[in-house]
Chain A
């Protein structure tokens, strides 16, 4: 079946540095992917829609210059958290529609800890 994979599963970075998270569709092409952020004990909040070959669409309140999204191919979207701060520490999850049943698939998530 269709699988969406994220890398890394967890990452620790120093405050002020940038960190990149990858989201790959492993056996299907995804023109659109979605990035969510989930703080502990909270629900998933949609951050942005990643569009292959064009600019991402950000949700209200999400800083596009801080959360850079690149969707350079039909199987890969990346989220770069720039100048990370401890408050950016969160669980980041991506999703993509695909497969034979046109179902949405979620990645395993990536834990980011900024120290």
Chain B
């Protein structure tokens, strides 16, 4: 049973379009993180959201944490080919244990 359900798992869109990736759970997390991972490398942290309802922006990326701290979304505006990659959400259980969603493999076509 996957603790964090991420959707969609695959997404291929054209450059310039907008997209949203969702991360949902029935569990409450103390915080939730979003990562991006390139093939053959470890994941790189994009953002950490801690407070229910929190919204954080990172250039064209907008991250939101649900009010109940069970879900989160990542919205990318005007996607570019450089945004192509594997995006992972991860929820913090307890003080240090991080569990990951299935990931969203994003492809931005020129």
A interface residues (Cβ-Cβ under 8 A, vs B): 32, 34, 36, 41-46, 49, 91, 93, 95, 97, 103-104, 106-109, 111
Q: Count A-B pairs with CB separation below 8 Å.
A: 46
Give A1 Cβ to nearest chain B Cβ, in Å: 12
Residue B11, interface by CB 8 Å: no
Please tell me if the beta carbons of A44 and B105 are within 8 angstroms of each other in the complex. no
Please tell me if the beta carbons of B42 and A43 are within 8 angstroms of each other in the complex. no
Residues of A contacting B100 in the complex (Cβ-Cβ under 8 angstroms):
36, 43-46
Residues of A contacting B41 in the complex (Cβ-Cβ under 8 angstroms):
108-109
* Binding site secondary structure of chain A: strand
Contacting residue for A104 out of B45, B88, B99, B105, CB 8 A: B45
Q: How many residues of B contact A (CB 8 A)?
A: 19
B interface residues (Cβ-Cβ under 8 A, vs A): 6, 33, 40-45, 88, 90, 96-103, 105
Task: Please measure, in the bound complex, the distance between the C-alpha atom of A108 and the C-alpha atom of B101, giving whole angstroms.
Answer: 20
Task: Please measure, in the bound complex, the distance between the C-alpha atom of A72 and the C-alpha atom of B105, giving whole angstroms.
Answer: 37
Give B9 Cβ to nearest chain A Cβ, in Å: 9
Please tell me if the beta carbons of A103 and B88 are within 8 angstroms of each other in the complex. no
Please tell me if the beta carbons of B98 and A104 are within 8 angstroms of each other in the complex. yes
Task: Please measure, in the bound complex, the distance between the C-alpha atom of A47 and the C-alpha atom of B99, giving whole angstroms.
Answer: 10
Give A108 Cβ to nearest chain B Cβ, in Å: 5
Given A104-B33, A108-B42, 14 further pairs, Cβ under 8 A: A34-B96, A34-B97, A41-B105, A42-B102, A42-B103, A43-B100, A44-B100, A46-B99, A93-B42, A95-B42, A106-B43, A106-B44, A107-B42, A108-B41
